[in-house]
C-alpha cells in the first residue's frame, strides 16, 4: 500500500517534466553568459557593430549555412524565408546568441575529449564547424587567433 507521499512524488516529478518541456527553453550544459561573451570575443573581439564581410555576419561571424544548421532562428515577428532574415538576426547580439544555441543544440559535444562538454568545446565547434570540432585549432592562423582571443577572454571573465 502506498502512502500519500509515495504517490505524490511520481505525480510531482511528472508535472515538473511536463512544465519544463513546455517552457520552450533548451538546456545546453555550461553555456553561460560568460561563455557567450568569450565565443563572441573569439569570433570578432565582440565587435557588435560588425556588419557582414565575406558571407559572415555580426559579432559572432555567423554564416548562412551556420544559420540554417541552427534551425533558421530569426528576429521576433520575422519570417525565416525572407531574403535577409538570417543576416538581420546574426547582426544583433541577442538574436545571434539564439542562433548559437540552436547550432550547439545540434553539434555541441566534447570536442577535446576531456570528458566534459564546456565552453572550450563550444569554441572548437564554432571555430571548426560542428561536424569537424575535434580538429585542433592551432593548425591555422585563424584558429590560433581564435584560441588566443578565447584564452584572453576566459582568463579575464573566469578569474
Q: Answer with the residue of higher pLDDT: 44 or 13.
A: 44
**Integer CA distances (angstroms), 109 to 13, 105, 115, 123, in order:** 28, 9, 10, 11
pLDDT at residue 159 in the model: 53
Phi, psi dihedral angles at 52 (to 5 degrees): -125, 135
pLDDT at residue 11 in the model: 37
Does this model's pTM top 0.75? My answer is yes
Q: Answer with the residue of higher pLDDT: 25 or 140.
A: 140
b/e per residue 70-103 (b: at least 16 CB within 10 A): bebbbeeeeeeeeeebbbbbbbbeebbbbbbbbb
Residue 80 lies in a domain: yes
As a whole number, mean pLDDT of residues 137-159 equals: 89
Residue 21 lies in a domain: no
| Alpha carbon distance 67, 40 (integer Å) | 16
Residues 6+ apart with CB under 8 A from 142: 127
Q: Do the Cβ atoms of 128 and 135 come closer than 8 Å? A: yes
Q: Give the tens place of pLDDT for each residue, 16-66.
A: 333 333 334 556 888 999 999 999 999 999 999 989 999 999 999 999 999
pLDDT at residue 5 in the model: 43
Residue 100 lies in a domain: yes
Q: Give the tens place of pLDDT for each residue, 89-118.
A: 999 999 999 999 999 999 999 999 999 999
Q: What is the extent of the structural domain holding 88? A: 30-157
**Integer CA distances (angstroms), 35 to 30, 111, 113, 120, in order:** 8, 16, 19, 9
pLDDT at residue 151 in the model: 95
Query: How many domains are there within the chain?
Result: 1
pLDDT at residue 28 in the model: 85
Q: Do the Cβ atoms of 82 and 64 come closer than 8 Å? A: no
pLDDT at residue 22 in the model: 35
CATH number of the domain that residue 45 is part of:
1.10.530.10
Amino acid at each position: 500500500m502506498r502512502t500519500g507521499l509515495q504517490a505524490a512524488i511520481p505525480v510531482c516529478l511528472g508535472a515538473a517534466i511536463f512544465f519544463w518541456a513546455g517552457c520552450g527553453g533548451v538546456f545546453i550544459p555550461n553555456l553561460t553568459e560568460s561563455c557567450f561573451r568569450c565565443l563572441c570575443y573569439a569570433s570578432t573581439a565582440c565587435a557588435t557593430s560588425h556588419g557582414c564581410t565575406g558571407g559572415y555576419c555580426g559579432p559572432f561571424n555567423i554564416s548562412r549555412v551556420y544559420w540554417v544548421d541552427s534551425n533558421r532562428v530569426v528576429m521576433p515577428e520575422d519570417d525565416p524565408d525572407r531574403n535577409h532574415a538570417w543576416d538581420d538576426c546574426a547582426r544583433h547580439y541577442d538574436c545571434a546568441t539564439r542562433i548559437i544555441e540552436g547550432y550547439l543544440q545540434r553539434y555541441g559535444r566534447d570536442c577535446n575529449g576531456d570528458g566534459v562538454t564546456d565552453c572550450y568545446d563550444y569554441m572548437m565547434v564554432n571555430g571548426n564547424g560542428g561536424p569537424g570540432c575535434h580538429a585542433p585549432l592551432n593548425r591555422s592562423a585563424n584558429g590560433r587567433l581564435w584560441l588566443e582571443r578565447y584564452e584572453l577572454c576566459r582568463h579575464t571573465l573566469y578569474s
